[in-house]
Amino acid sequence: MSRWASFENELRFLLRDRAFVIWIWVVLGFSSFAVWTGLAEVRQQRESIAFLLEADQKDRTSELSKQGDWGSAAYYAFHLTYDPPSDFAFAAMGQRDAASWKHRLRMLALEGQIYEHDPGNPELALIGRFDFAFVVAFVLPLVLAFLLHDLQASERSAGRFNLLIASTGRGRSLWRRRAVLRSGGVLIATIVPLLIAGGVSGTRVATLASATALVVAYVVFWTFICLWFARSKRSAPVILASLIGVWVLLSTVLPAGGRAITDRLVPIPTGAEILMTQREAVNDAWDLPVEDTMAPFVQRHPEWTGYVYSGDGFDWGWYYAFQQVGDQTVEELSSAYTAGRTERDRLAGWISIIAPPALLERLLQQLAGTDMQSVLAYEAQVRAFHAELRTFHYPGLFGGEPFDPAMLSALPQYLPTK
Amino acid sequence: MSAALRVAKDEWRYWLRSKLALAVVGLFVLILLAVSLLNAVRMHEESHQRAHHQTDSEQTFLSQPDRHPHRMVHYGHYVFRAPMPLALFDPGLDSVTGQTMFLEGHRQNSATFSATSGSADLGGLSWLTPAMIFQIFAPLLIIVLGHSAVVREREARTLATLLAQGVSGRALLVGKLLALLLFVALLLLPLIVSAAFSLGRGESLSTASFMVGVYFVYLAVWVGLTLLASALLQQRSSVIASLAAAWLVLTLVLPAVAVNVSSQIAPLAGKIETELTMLTEVRDVGDGHDVDDSVYNNVEASLLEEYGVDRIEDLEINIRGVLAQNAEADLTDTLNVYAERRMNAEAHQAALLGWHGWLTPTLAVADASRALAGTDLAHYHRFLRQAEDLRIGFVQSLNRVHAEELSYIDDINRNRDEESWERARVAATNWQLDEFQFQPASTSTRIANAGSSVSMLLTWLAALIALLLWNGGRLKP
């Protein structure tokens, strides 16, 4: 029998295998549901951003129209910053459910604002979404285990094993053929909905190709594991139980251990430390001599050395100077917080090598721009934008440039880089 | 009955001889102990740290020097939520919700710094908690141990013998059921220890026992499913394959699917979105900093009339403090309308999610468990509300001090020179603050909150037992 003909033969057998056909439909259903609801979620997020942009613009214009000096203009104008979902976010929502991807800031101390949280429902965040990454990383290996664990054991218990080996000559190629067909079926049922959704969402071809390659590699990996266990002469239930054990180990135990170890190895400052230190600095400034605030400010901004405090009581320049000095006070803590998260993420990346489900999820999130790196990149963008706001206002606040409402049309605009 | 007991005893003897069963149980216990220990250490540290931050923050507030009372309104205060005693077992939403909140005048800030936001990301299942182990992995244990209960006898042809010897099908199933339930009871020992431990930390006996009971019912549901599959199907391999598939769908797939469904059916507007919608309304309330705001002209008029004077300078109280009180009260009313609306929307979405407990007992037990532990959405909202009560309390007491302790003249002249700046202050003895201690809902409320989930679990159990008894009556070799 030619190679192709035996494939065809096997395929005919397989299509008559009810369990296989049902699982293929189920996987197709899972994958379609995951990408379809993913697309809907992305659409919702885009609509929400569109609404926010418009409302934000309106609110700012209305507030600014009432202001007569630089200080109040900066105080009353809020600015929306956001991280739009990428064209592949529908497949892996990742950190978008846990971390903030939108803020409304003003020119006050940034550290008091950047950690503000605009979360969804915590109840939903706790359980986690049924997105494509979840389906592939956690559900697919189990489906493969169901389909492949009894490849040999079922023939053994049916008493056909020796007959099959004898009639096909080489047993190994038979099992391989069967495994390739079954895994191939699962793979196609998983990937096709993704590709269609990618087409709908206008995902870049390179992204889709990388995602497909990742899923193929992942399915091949689990197929090998399943085949290795399936070779055992033990009974099908024992093989299946062992495969589920491997799954539990790789998808839960190792990642949980890895997380515990990483979090312990790399301590980060508690949020409370950052917030309280920053608030203390800003609040104490009211009672401190003006020079105590202006000295560290001017040290950072030598160009405003010429600024003269206008008198007793209140002065906008001084006010914004101590906002910035508040930020400066916690700079160390705040960068330790960012560096700690970066380091934790780096370590987690290494650890995930021994936990393929976590690795796959991380890689898909990386492709989707929903991983920790993207969160940190967004935070960096927010910081850069806040710095731009300061650069824009400081000549008016510290350089004595007269207030001209027309100049406000040149206010920095937040533009996401993605 | 004695027949059933004999069957149960035999089943246990069979397990004790099975290396696989012993290995799996051993592994489970090991993982459970490790996770419980890690969780306990983390809880202990966090609870210690938050209590420390809370006292620290209270002391700093109270030790502030003499100053203008409105400065203290902006100085603000922090609250921290200490973990609940049973969070030791089920931290629930604690890891995804912020536990720190900054309270100040004119604003309701969000709870910030959740544990997840800073932690390493190692996939959706890496937040192992003891509760999750019981919800997701204990069923696997029951399947591994129990799947062969009936089908084994059938495959070995001993089932026919047993039935012929006069052991009724029902007695057989009841015996296997008893054996598995005893196993479940043993499995719950670590939970019982956690629950006992939580008693020492102030948890009530009824909540703790309810917690154990809820998990017993949940695992009994899995025992029922396992036995039913074992009794209905002909081959051991198909029993375990279908049970494993059911496990995948019920514990992993459906809860996550329910999340997608709920967020699509009842989408939530984010906090910023709500805020922007609200801003227009807040603007109509007026700005409490500004005495000339037209909204307050009538306040001025009524005060002048009440004190029988012609000029605000002659009032016995400082009108700026009165206005600040009014403005804060009005603003808070508006803020609360939106905060309540948002919390209701969240609760509605969560209820929709909870409804899926009819489809999967895993969601039902998770809901019930969080409700009992006090780590559910309702308790998170309680935290937000209690923090808000504290906020409005200290802000208004400061505004009262502003009205009663600081003269209007000193107040408006505060920016004139250094000396006026010094004069526009009140004594630090006026800084008062209620100690913040999160008050969980009463035992009866928590049990009531778990009610609908518990009734789902009981329905599942009743239906399965009815099916088992029905099947036992017609059990065939």
Using the predicted structure, report yes or no on whether residue B292 has a pLDDT greater than 60. no
Taking CA–CA distances from A82, the nearest residue in chain B reads B272
Give the pLDDT band of residue A67 (cuts 50, 70, 90). confident
Residue A287 at interface with chain B, using a CB cutoff of 8 Å: yes
pLDDT of residue A198: 96
- Which residues on adjacent β-strands are paired with residue B112? B100
Using only C-alpha atoms, chain B has a radius of gyration, in whole angstroms, of 30
B49-57: list long-range contacts, CB under 8 Å, 24+ apart. B49/A270, B50/A272, B50/B80, B50/B81, B50/B82, B50/B83, B50/B99, B51/B80, B51/B82, B53/A270, B53/A272, B53/A276, B53/B78, B53/B80, B53/B100, B54/B78, B54/B79, B54/B80, B54/B82, B54/B436, B56/A276, B57/A276
ipTM value, please give it.
Answer: 0.90
A7-28 mean pLDDT: 85
Report the 10 Å Cβ neighbour count for B297: 11
* Residue among A217, A215, A224 at smallest CA distance from A151: A224
Q: In which residue are the tokens 């500004």 written? A: B290
**Minimal Cβ distance to A283: which of B20, B75, B421:** B75
Q: Which A positions 29-88 lie with beta carbon below 8 A of chain B?
A: 30, 33-34, 37, 40-41, 44, 48, 51-52, 55-56, 59, 80
**Minimal Cβ distance to A244: which of B76, B140, B262:** B140
Task: Locate B125 and state its tokens.
Answer: 């299942």
B307-335 mean pLDDT: 86
**A299-319 burial: b if 16+ Cβ within 10 Å, else e:** eebeebeebeeeebeebbbbb
pLDDT of residue B447: 95
**What pLDDT digit, counting tens, does each position of A284-316 carry?**
888 788 888 888 898 988 888 888 777 666 788
Contact A235 B414 (CB under 8 A): no
- Rounded Cα distance between B225 and B375, Å, is 29
Angle of helix B254-265 versus helix A18-64 axis, rounded to 10 = 40
Using the predicted structure, report yes or no on whether residue B308 has a pLDDT greater than 90. no
- Rounded Cα distance between A233 and B12, Å, is 26
pLDDT of residue A330: 92
**B118-156 burial: b if 16+ Cβ within 10 Å, else e:** bbbbbbbbbbbbbbbbbbbbbbbbbbbbbbbbbbbbbbe
**Minimal Cβ distance to B112: which of A37, A271, A340:** A271
pLDDT of residue A103: 93
Answer for the pair B392, B328: CB distance below 8 angstroms, yes or no: yes
**What pLDDT digit, counting tens, does each position of A24-44 carry?**
999 999 999 999 999 999 999
Beta-sheet strands, E only, within B87-167: 100-104, 107-108
pLDDT of residue B296: 67
Report the 10 Å Cβ neighbour count for B11: 23
- Rounded Cα distance between A231 and B176, Å, is 32
Residues of chain B positioned with their CB less than 8 A from the CB of A41: 260, 263-264
**What pLDDT digit, counting tens, does each position of B401-424 carry?**
998 888 888 888 887 777 787 888
3-class secondary-structure state, position A103: strand
Residues of chain B positioned with their CB less than 8 A from the CB of A155: none
Q: Average pLDDT of chain A?
A: 89
pLDDT of residue A249: 92
Answer for the pair B274, B342: CB distance below 8 angstroms, yes or no: yes
* Residue among B65, B122, B127, B121 at smallest CA distance from B95: B127
- Rounded Cα distance between A72 and A410, Å, is 17
Residues of chain A positioned with their CB less than 8 A from the CB of B122: 255-256, 258-259, 262, 348, 351-352, 355, 358, 362
A120-139 mean pLDDT: 93
A234-251 mean pLDDT: 90
- Rounded Cα distance between A79 and A412, Å, is 9
pLDDT of residue B249: 96
Using the predicted structure, report yes or no on whether residue A169 has a pLDDT greater than 70. no
A218-234 mean pLDDT: 92
Distance from CA of A149 to the nearest CA of B (A): 10
Listed in sequence order, the residues at least 6 apart from B317 whose beta carbon sits closer than 8 Å to its beta carbon are B303, B403, B404, B408
Instruction: State CA B107 to chain mean position distance.
Output: 25
Least confident of A56-65, B87-96, B153-162, B448-457: B153-162
Answer for the pair A85, A97: CB distance below 8 angstroms, yes or no: no
**B323-349 burial: b if 16+ Cβ within 10 Å, else e:** bbbbbbebbbeebeebbeebbebbbeb
Using the predicted structure, report yes or no on whether residue B278 has a pLDDT greater than 70. yes
User: Which pTM was predicted?
Assistant: 0.91
Least confident of B200-209, B236-245, B313-322, B364-373: B313-322
pLDDT of residue B289: 56
pLDDT of residue B290: 54
- Best of A67, A75, A93, A252 to disrupt the B interface (most B CBs within 10 Å) is A252
- Rounded Cα distance between A370 and A365, Å, is 5
Answer for the pair A139, A360: CB distance below 8 angstroms, yes or no: no
Which ranges of B376-417 does DSSP label H, i.e. alpha helix?
A: 377-405, 408-412
CA dist list (Å): B415 to A372, B199, B411, B441: 48, 57, 9, 48
Taking CA–CA distances from B351, the nearest residue in chain A reads A123
Distance from CA of B305 to the nearest CA of A (A): 32
Give the pLDDT band of residue B280 (cuts 50, 70, 90). low
- Best of B22, B36, B108, B121 to disrupt the A interface (most A CBs within 10 Å) is B121
B80-106 mean pLDDT: 88
**What pLDDT digit, counting tens, does each position of A315-338 carry?**
888 899 989 999 999 999 999 999
Give the pLDDT band of residue B100 (cuts 50, 70, 90). confident
* DSSP of A127-174: H----HHHIIIIIHHHHHHHHHTTTTHHHHHTT-HHHHHHHHS-HHHH
- Rounded Cα distance between B461 and B177, Å, is 12
Using the predicted structure, report yes or no on whether residue B112 has a pLDDT greater than 60. yes
**What pLDDT digit, counting tens, does each position of A276-290 carry?**
888 888 888 887 888
pLDDT of residue B423: 82
B349-362 mean pLDDT: 95
Give the pLDDT band of residue B287 (cuts 50, 70, 90). low
pLDDT of residue B286: 55
| Residue contacts between A and B (CB atoms, under 8 Å) | 278
